[in-house]
Amino acid sequence: MSENIKKIQLNDLHVALGGKMVPFAGFNMPVRYSSDTEEHHTVRQGVGVFDVSHMGEFKVTGPKALSLIQKVTSNDASKLVIGQAQYSCFPNETGGIVDDLIVYKFGEEEYMLVVNASNIEKDWNWINKHNDMGATLENISESISLFAIQGPKAIEAVQSLTSVNLSDIKFYHFAVGDFAGVQDVIISGTGYTGAGGFEVYVKNEDAEKVWNAVFEAGKPYDIKPIGLGARDTLRLEMGYCLYGNDINDETSPIEAGLGWITKFTKDFINSENLKKQKENGVNKKLVGFILQEKGIPRGHYPIVNLDGEPIGDVTSGTMTPSMGVGIGMGYVKSEYATPGTEIAITVRNKNLLAKVEKFPLYKK
Amino acid sequence: MNFPKELKYTKDHEWVKIENDIAVIGITEFAQRELGDIVYVEVETVGETIAAGEVFGTVEAVKTVSDLFMPLEGEIIEFNEELESSPELVNDSPYESGWMIKVKFSGEVPSDLLSFEEYSELVGG
């Protein structure tokens, strides 16, 4: 993989900004510019910008667009209105998840799917394989740059760049308009931080112009570039799943707490099985937890009960910059999944007390 | 990057300051930069005698967990307890207030410890 690692459009700009570039999902990506913790606080308290141009985008168009989306995704895309987006997943045929994604509705016959960078090829093959109804598919991943402008000051910082009233864009809704002098920019009320703000999709040829305009406009608000390190701690505080860590080809959306995006108002791949899971219950569940002792949980650390018996595994963990304690997510036997339940995380042969908590783990 | 001349270094990015039979040990400027924000330093081996190359503790950054290795054999006589509440000292001052342990050693200083020139070359200047 390292021999043909891809570069995002603004790779050189991130290097010039002092970004430490690391291989992630087949791309060289900025993991941090100054400090993970400072970048985390910038997004929670002010405004910061992530270049997440590695993400994949597929256009799905034509009279059969919706019927393909309904077949391959778990959420009910027929409920979308034009200008609305929806979190969803591609269930596989064996109970797991191919990927999680966002579905955007541009028109009755025009949608866009935004998928994880690490899964672009897998997802593309998957939806093509299931496209027996003949929707038109186009993979535009390599021509699109995506910037997530996140934080409580995001709207204020860049409102001057667009005639679209940014505060009118509701959560999981979007507008297509002018932005930084560029036409047809998708301005989306989404993100992966829980800090507020939005994401802008631009063509690669406009990326540098838009990035520079955002930083110029945001200067009075102390806007900063933010790396993937802080992106991970921010999303973990909110309990947002990361594909490859918390969900994968073997975890079911019901186990993963994604029942809310698994709608049985329609048929989709493996829906009968998942419906049974929902009705009968599942043996393990993804939970969030907060450590009650000093220490940091990490992926693959064992989760045990208070008698020291194994009950699951950590899928993601970190020291949360906002709260200064160890937090994490992991699968536990369902009888331990109730918020308030005391469990323990095995960190280097010691069992550290933790408590199952509702998401978000960080409460403002 | 700053690698003080008077210190010795290891390939695992630790530094050693020899003062008679006491060695003070920490991690280098290069190591702390590579790791990013240090959020936890765990050393539970005070009082133990540990061989060169063995693990004496753990340093955790936001994204990573790394073992800390003994640069030379000796008895760990002190852990820098300031690091329990302020692990960021390792980032802010890796050679001074961010030191990690003091080791009482008997015998020779191992000959495979690196000089600052050798270490600088190892990490590319």
Q: Flag whether residue A19 sits within 8 Å of chain B, measured between CB atoms.
A: no
ipTM of predicted assembly, 2 dp: 0.86
Q: Average of pLDDT values for A325-353?
A: 97
Res. A3: pLDDT tops 80: no
Q: Flag whether residue A13 sits within 8 Å of chain B, measured between CB atoms.
A: no
Q: How far is A210 from chain B (nearest CA, A)?
A: 29
Contact assignment for B40 to A229 by CB distance below 8 Å = no
Nearest residue on chain A to B36, judged by CA atoms? A35
Structure-block tokens of residue B66:
């790394």
Q: What residues in A contact B60, CB-CB < 8 Å?
A: 296, 319
Q: Which of A331, A43, A360, A47 is nearest to A215 (CA)?
A: A47
Asked if residue A36 lies in contact with residue A233, where contact means CB atoms within 8 angstroms, the answer is yes
Number of H helices, E strands in chain B: 4, 9
- Distance (Å) of CA A118 to CA A123, A155, A318: 10, 30, 22
- Chain A stretch 102-121, residues whose beta carbon is closer than 8 A to a beta carbon of chain B: none
The reported pLDDT for the residue numbered A263 is: 98
Q: Average of pLDDT values for A315-336?
A: 97
* Burial letters A306-341, b for 16+ CB under 10 A, else e: eeeeebbbbbbbbbbbbeebbbbbbbbbbebbeeeb
Q: pLDDT of A5-57, one tens digit each?
A: 999 999 999 999 999 999 999 999 999 999 999 999 999 999 999 999 999 99
Q: pLDDT of A92-130, one tens digit each?
A: 999 999 999 999 999 999 999 999 999 999 999 999 999
Q: Which of A63, A58, A109 is nearest to A88 (CA)?
A: A58
Nearest residue on chain A to B34, judged by CA atoms? A20
How far apart (Å, rounded) are the C-alpha atoms in residues A187 and A172?
Answer: 10
Contact assignment for A319 to B40 by CB distance below 8 Å = yes
Q: In what order do the strands lie in the sheet with A6-7?
A: A6-7, A27-32, A20-24
Average pLDDT across chain A, whole number: 97
Which of A233, A294, A295 lies nearest to residue B62, judging by beta carbons?
A233
The reported pLDDT for the residue numbered B106 is: 79
Q: What residues in A contact B40, CB-CB < 8 Å?
A: 294-296, 319
Q: What is the percent of chain B with per-residue pLDDT over 90, rounded to a whole number? A: 90
At CB < 8 Å, which residues of chain B contact A? Answer: 36-37, 39-40, 42, 58, 60-63, 65, 84, 91
Q: What residues in B contact A24, CB-CB < 8 Å?
A: none
Provide the β-strand partners of residue A145.
A202
Q: pLDDT of A167-213, one tens digit each?
A: 999 999 999 999 999 999 999 999 999 999 999 999 999 999 999 99
Half-sphere exposure of B79 (CA within 13 A, CB side): 18
Q: What residues in B contact A232, CB-CB < 8 Å?
A: 62-63
The reported pLDDT for the residue numbered A363 is: 87
Going by pLDDT thresholds of 50, 70 and 90, the confidence category of residue B125 is low
Q: pLDDT of B22-61, one tens digit each?
A: 999 999 999 999 999 999 999 999 999 999 999 999 999 9
Which of B36, B40, B84 lies nearest to residue A229, judging by beta carbons?
B36
